[in-house]
Amino acid sequence: NSKLRHVEKDVLIPQIMRDRAKELCSDKVQAFTKCCQETGFLMVVKCRRENTALKDCLVGYYSDPSFYEECKTEYLKQREEYRATGIKKKRQKVTSNV
């Protein structure tokens, strides 16, 4: 049964999308994090370019219908495994300050 509940469509699948997008944009996450660490209070002004590059990368994935379908498929596979085994698979967290 691949019917999705509201919480799955609006919360759980978008969470997978955010996690995967951060992994795929990790070079831009690192550049923005490094800039912020180096500039302190002036990061709003000094890191604008890095922030824009990061946002563009993330939004590119968030608005890609095929990326949504990939993440939906991944979620459904996890849900199926959980229903079969009762064991929840933990996603690897990306360690970053974003």
Domain ranges of the chain: 6-73
Positions of the chain with pLDDT under 50? 94-98
> How far lies 64's CA from each of 43, 46, 61, 90, 94, in Å?
29, 29, 5, 25, 21
What is the DSSP secondary structure assignment for residue 63, as one 8-state letter?
Answer: T
Taking the C-alpha atoms of residue 53 and residue 47, their distance in angstroms, rounded to an integer, is: 10
Q: What is the pLDDT of residue 12?
A: 95
Q: What is the pLDDT of residue 27?
A: 98
Q: What is the pLDDT of residue 2?
A: 64
